[in-house]
Structure 1
Amino acid sequence: MELKDQIVLVTGGSRGLGAETVKAFAREGAKVVINYFKNEEKAKVLTETIGENALALRADVRDPAQVQSIFRLAKEHFGAPITTIVNNALVNFKFDPIANKDAFAVGWEDYHQQLEGAVRGALNTIQSGLPDMKEVKFGRIVNIGTNLFQNPVVAYHDYTTSKAALLGFTRNMANDLGKYGVTVNMVSGGLLKMTDASSATSEEVFQLIESSTPLRKVTDPAEVADSILFFASPWARAVNGQNLVVDGGLVMD
């Protein structure tokens, strides 16, 4: 299915990488569902910017009933089901190396919160969209990971562990859903400049990343968004269960 014919749900779609992903799909003519939880104003502004091909819907991705309502409302609004899911939502986390909890302080509740947002959120969206995807024999799911689980330059224990778990989740889903024409892949960016989540990161850290990266620059959200589009496009129709690191070559897998 061409990008222009897809109906795309982007969770956490009102800001940062999510907003850039929404803009990228809209640029290609796709219809986009902007899921937000707290940032209603940003979601409304983004919707107005895109126009009739955008729909903003509030939901907590950790709640199955709220997620199911997104799929129902989107289908009613656009007259067709969601075909493509980008699991991007980030629950209560900032990349702050100063305030980050070390091995002495991190608690199971911290891990649980991030696992709920990453893995449970992705499970809820996939299970909500799967019946329609199975019926039309097409689906594209892209989960958002991180290069930190391959190279944890800062020990963000809870966040990084949840994203490593999301990779296992991605590959199991890819194996299970391929028979229905549904692909499941992951895009893992590095620390992006600049998003709400990375706003606590100092300029010194960004300069260190820039000098250590082969492309000699910090990756920006729009560059990662374009890679997400690849997995949803016909060019990636035979790609399944993969993790693409998009960080300028800082981590080479």
Structure 2
Amino acid sequence: MLPLTEQIVLVTGGARGLGAAITRAFLAQGARVVIDYHTSQDAAEDLAAAHPGKAIAIRADVRDRAQVDGLVAEAADRFGGPITTVVNNALADFSFNGDARSHADQISYEEITAQFTGSVHGPLNVIQATLPGMVEAGFGRIVNIGTNLFQHPVVPYHDYTAAKAALLSLTRTFADDLGPQAITVNMVSGGLLLTTDASAATPEAVFEGIAAGTPLRAVTTPDQLADPVVFFASPWARGVTGQNLIVDGGLVKG
């Protein structure tokens, strides 16, 4: 059992939005963090520079296994040990604007496969690339980022929701497969967040409607979603695996 202060955490897409909030949350608990980025070099390097010795920024497109392998090797070299904890947060290009998404009579299979490549193939690459290091350490924590749209499909994000549903399935089957090696696999599923680059295109009226429908009368923030991600990596979650925790202010039940 590794305390957070001894964990080396990889946050994919860790430089902006929710990813940056997750990165900061782990750093606040004393973990060392590998900030994976694809196009956000300046943001990633600025975030790493603000935490010298505790955070490093490495570019890798998670959809490319060779790039992921390179990131894992570089991280181990620079931090002197294997990645023990993974947060699969990276999201292929997507805008959370229902008016701009393809409806059931229009969506193409290419749109769906694009999201599968980012939300399933990417995490698969990352998990398989980091698995040997986790086995070596005798400890592993994998946290996948999902969505509450499984339970509350009120917008036509067909491609995004289908891909995240597949990732939830992998979360549960991988938990069973990897559990004997002291590796847990869980998912944290939020709703629309206030505010990230992906949700910047969302009309204000949508945010207001979501807030009105929650017991907390508020839209969840990236910082609030980051907290349970850290929990799943912490010693307090040592007996938890294969779970999907919804963090949306109580909008969706169960």
Instruction: Please give the TM-score of this superposition, normalised by the length of structure 1.
Output: 0.99
Structure 2 unaligned regions, length at least 5: none
State the partner residue of 1:179: 180
State the partner residue of 2:122: 121
State the partner residue of 2:229: 228
Per-residue CA deviations over 1:100-119 (Å, capped at 9, x if unaligned) read 11012110001101011011
Preserved contact between residue 23 and residue 50 of structure 1 (Cα < 8 Å):
no
Look up the equivalent residue of 2:145 and give its one-letter code: I
Per-residue CA deviations over 1:199-253 (Å, capped at 9, x if unaligned) read 0001100000000011100000000001100000000000000000000100011
Greater Cα offset, 179-188 or 47-56? 47-56
- In 1, the alpha carbon distance for the partners of 2:150 and 2:156 equals 9
Per-residue CA deviations over 1:30-63 (Å, capped at 9, x if unaligned) read 0000000011111111111222211101111011
Alignment of 1:23-172 (within 5 A): 23-172=24-173
Look up the equivalent residue of 2:84 and give its one-letter code: T
Aligned to 1:240, what secondary structure does the other structure show? Answer: coil
1:20 has 2:16 as partner: no
Aligned residues: 253
Aligned to 1:143, what secondary structure does the other structure show? Answer: strand
State the partner residue of 2:10: 9
Look up the equivalent residue of 2:30 and give its one-letter code: G
Look up the equivalent residue of 2:138 and give its one-letter code: K
Aligned to 2:187, what secondary structure does the other structure show? Answer: strand
Per-residue CA deviations over 1:45-92 (Å, capped at 9, x if unaligned) read 111122221110111101111001111000000001100000000001
Aligned to 1:29, what secondary structure does the other structure show? Answer: coil
Q: CA deviation at 1:149?
A: 1.4
- In 2, the alpha carbon distance for the partners of 1:8 and 1:68 equals 15
State the partner residue of 1:191: 192
Preserved contact between residue 186 and residue 242 of structure 2 (Cα < 8 Å):
yes
- In 1, the alpha carbon distance for the partners of 2:61 and 2:173 equals 24
Q: Give identity over the alignment, percent.
A: 57
| Aligned CA-pair RMSD | 0.6
- In 2, the alpha carbon distance for the partners of 1:97 and 1:119 equals 22
Runs in 1 of length 4+ with deviation above 2 angstroms?
A: none
Aligned to 1:98, what secondary structure does the other structure show? Answer: helix
- In 2, the alpha carbon distance for the partners of 1:250 and 1:194 equals 17
- In 2, the alpha carbon distance for the partners of 1:8 and 1:163 equals 22
Aligned to 1:50, what secondary structure does the other structure show? Answer: coil
- In 2, the alpha carbon distance for the partners of 1:203 and 1:214 equals 19
Aligned to 1:244, what secondary structure does the other structure show? Answer: strand
Aligned to 1:12, what secondary structure does the other structure show? Answer: coil
Instruction: Please give the TM-score of this superposition, normalised by the length of structure 2.
Output: 0.99
Preserved contact between residue 82 and residue 137 of structure 2 (Cα < 8 Å):
no
- In 2, the alpha carbon distance for the partners of 1:211 and 1:65 equals 45
Q: CA deviation at 1:150?
A: 1.2
